[in-house]
Structure 1
Amino acid sequence: MDFDFSDDQMQLRDAVRRWVDKGYGFERRKAIVAAGGFDRAAYAELAELGLCGLYVSEAHGGLGMGPVEGMVVMEELGRGIVLEPLAQTLLASALIGGYASADLQAEWLPRIASGDALVVLAHQERGLRYALGAALTRATPQGDGWTLTGRKSLVPAGDAADAWLVPALTEQGLGLFVVAKGAAGTQASGYLTQDGSRAAEVSLNGAAAQLVTRDGQTALEHAADIGIAASSAYAVGVMDQTLAVTADYLNTRKQFGVPIASFQALRHRMADMKMQLELARSMSYYASLKLHAPVAERRQALSRAKVQLGQSMRFVGQQAVQLHGGIGVTDEYIVSHYFKTLTQLEMTWGDTLHHLGEVSARMQATAGVFA
């Protein structure tokens, strides 16, 4: 079996890497954080590279690519700890393209692909933690459309988005709706998150909405799996850079007249970090390759991946700070930002313990060494 990337995938990776290296340096990122954690100009640059249309079909102006290309892109964005939520664009275009009516697709997908419209998923609610099917937001039919009433939390770039994908309860169960920003009854209040990115509280009070699908549970689980795969790839990029910066520091910092990289105990810790990185990378590949698998298999695979990624992110981030000493927790030094990003990613789409429970719950009676 050939696990090498194709020429097109390599060219895509190189194009994104060049943009990150030349166009999204640490100083620009700090300026974006200071300005609120989201930069429309940077997002437009991603759109110019064609990345916003990665999962959009060619018929709607996109590239019509798949999970492997998404993984390649997200890993490179992780190297620059890019704040703009491209992962949200990928899952929004996948949901609208896979579940919405033809009219709704024609209305939103070309705008998503061009970068003119940022659409993000607004699914989290206070007190419900990681329960995907739980929602207090209600959807009520009104004429040919719907109205939504409820409140969503931690919506990525929620006050900068042009529309939100909102799961809400109908009389028949959970549905998925799209709500345009600025519609009557909508309000978004933004704030910075711990890693410097932007999120918002979104309030809906009889807000007009368009139905994407009545099977909101299936669509939301699909969105979560796309989100896990994307965040896993992003985390691999972050860990890769964390390891590189830490190695440079150990080779530069001297104690007793020699680089501390020569100390055997520190070399062993670097080897352990590298091992965790490669375990995470292999499970990130596994997650992306399973996105088109049958639902039960896909859900189990993505939880397995999230368990390993969570363990790796925590280990690599904490070891990097320890090996740097005091400078590793200062805002002026990039390692602290890697650490905060990895810490927040570990809790995104369900933390390690949550997904360990998911893996356990999905084990068959024959699971184990004697199967």
Structure 2
Amino acid sequence: MDFSYNEEQQMLKDSVGKFVSQDYDWDSRRAIVDSDSGYSSAHWKLFADLGWLTVPFLEADGGLGGSAVDLIVVMEEMGKGLVVEPFMANTVLAGGLLSALADSGQKEALLAPLMAGELQLALAFAETENRYELNQIACGGEINGDTLVINGHKSMVLNGGVAQQLLVAIRTSGKPGDDSGISIALVDASAAGVNRKEYTTVDGQRAADIWFESVSIPVTALVGADGGALSALQATIDRAALAVCAEAVGAMQVSLTKTVEYSKIRKQFGVSLSTFQALQHRMARMFMEVEQAKSILLMAAMAMDHAGGYAPRELSAAKSRIGKAARKVSQESVQIHGGIGVTDDLDVGHYFKRLTSIQYLFGSTDWHTRRFAAA
């Protein structure tokens, strides 16, 4: 069986890879992380001009095709540069849910400017008590005639600080733990009663905690049917998990390469570290972990495309295996570099931070292991 990318996918890979290698050097990334917005508007416009923001969407929605394999091509290359622009949070996560639930009018109003790089969105779904269980939504939405009133709190909203519009997972009926009664509401981030606290995460990304205090919006702001959003939300979160798995594979490849290079130039007892057999074995194990991660990532992406976008068993297998690989590779990379590996000036420590964070995004390694076993 031929597992190589087709011509369009290879061109996409080369395009993103060229940007990362030529325009996303380490000093530039650090300046972007320290900026007020946490991302470069110039880079974001470039993403739109090159068509990268259309990759996750179906042709019917104006996108490039929307395959999972296309998505991992982009995310793997972005992972190599630790790109902090909100491609995953805005385009894959929020945009993906819009694509799954929105009617034609909402898609026309929101997806077109999103793909043009003119709109920043965020999906607010996580709460402090749900522990990756998406049916444990407690943030309430009460419908009174033509009005929907939202009260509650959302945590760790990726891109939540700069988003102009928020997609908010709310409970319009039932109680936490019920599969029914979960809806998605589109809320203007500047609406009365919306309070945001933005922060920079340990890996250089931006997120926010958001409070909704009697936020009143029209019922027409619901995206999709009232109370029936859980399945689409689950599929979207799984797709985002696949995206960060691909990002992790790219980051692990760079961590491995930099570690091998460092072992050749760093000397101990008058000889390079690469001559020590124990370290050779450790780096060989790192290589094996990266290769296994690549294989299971492609398996999950192909399974997702074959199953119409939702393959929870295969996705959990990939998230579990790649999470374990990310931990092994990132820790070995830092340890072989020694004390310099955890300094802020060296990029290896930042790859370690991002790979550690990915282990807990959209379901931890242990959570996905349990879900795979249950399936």
**CA 1:153–1:273 in structure 2 vs 1: closer, same or farther (change >3 Å)?**
same
SS of 2:330's equivalent? helix
Identify which range, 9-18 or 174-183, moves more after superposition: 174-183
2:22 maps to 1:15: no
Amino acid at match of 1:181: A
Match of 1:184 in 2: 192
2:159 maps to 1:151: no
Amino acid at match of 1:55: P
> Following TM superposition, by how much is the alpha carbon of 1:149 offset from its aligned partner in structure 2, in angstroms?
1.6
Q: CA–CA distance in 2 between the matches of 1:45 and 1:151?
A: 34
Amino acid at match of 1:2: D
**CA 1:41–1:223 in structure 2 vs 1: closer, same or farther (change >3 Å)?**
same
SS of 1:212's equivalent? coil
**CA 1:240–1:253 in structure 2 vs 1: closer, same or farther (change >3 Å)?**
same
Match of 1:212 in 2: 223
Instruction: Decide whether the 8 Å contact of 1:186 with 1:205 is kept in 2.
Output: yes
Q: CA–CA distance in 1 between the matches of 2:164 and 2:142?
A: 22
2:183 maps to 1:175: yes
Identify which range, 24-33 or 169-178, moves more after superposition: 169-178
Match of 1:201 in 2: 209
2:327 maps to 1:314: yes
Identical columns (%): 37
SS of 2:223's equivalent? strand
> Following TM superposition, by how much is the alpha carbon of 1:145 offset from its aligned partner in structure 2, in angstroms?
5.1
Amino acid at match of 2:234: E
Amino acid at match of 2:332: Q
Encode CA deviations 1:50-80: one digit per residue, 9 max, x unaligned.
Answer: 1112123445543233211110000000000
> Following TM superposition, by how much is the alpha carbon of 1:143 offset from its aligned partner in structure 2, in angstroms?
4.4
Match of 1:32 in 2: 32
Match of 1:368 in 2: none
Q: Structure 1: state its 5+ residue gaps.
A: 363-371
Q: CA–CA distance in 2 between the matches of 1:41 and 1:271?
A: 39
> Following TM superposition, by how much is the alpha carbon of 1:297 offset from its aligned partner in structure 2, in angstroms?
7.2
Q: Structure 2: state its 5+ residue gaps.
A: 174-179
Q: CA–CA distance in 1 between the matches of 2:52 and 2:93?
A: 12
SS of 2:197's equivalent? strand
Q: CA–CA distance in 2 between the matches of 1:260 and 1:57?
A: 49
Question: Which stretches of structure 1, 4 residues or more, deviate above 6 A after TM superposition?
Answer: none
Match of 2:109 in 1: 107
Q: CA–CA distance in 2 between the matches of 1:145 and 1:353?
A: 41
Instruction: Decide whether the 8 Å contact of 2:249 with 2:294 is kept in 1.
Output: yes
Match of 1:125 in 2: 127
Amino acid at match of 1:103: G
Please, what is the CA RMSD of the aligned residues?
Answer: 1.8
Q: CA–CA distance in 2 between the matches of 1:50 and 1:150?
A: 36
Encode CA deviations 1:132-168: one digit per residue, 9 max, x unaligned.
Answer: 1111111122444533221111111211112222111
Q: CA–CA distance in 2 between the matches of 1:144 and 1:107?
A: 21
Match of 2:288 in 1: 275
Q: TM-score, normalised by structure 1?
A: 0.93
Q: CA–CA distance in 1 between the matches of 2:360 and 2:232?
A: 21
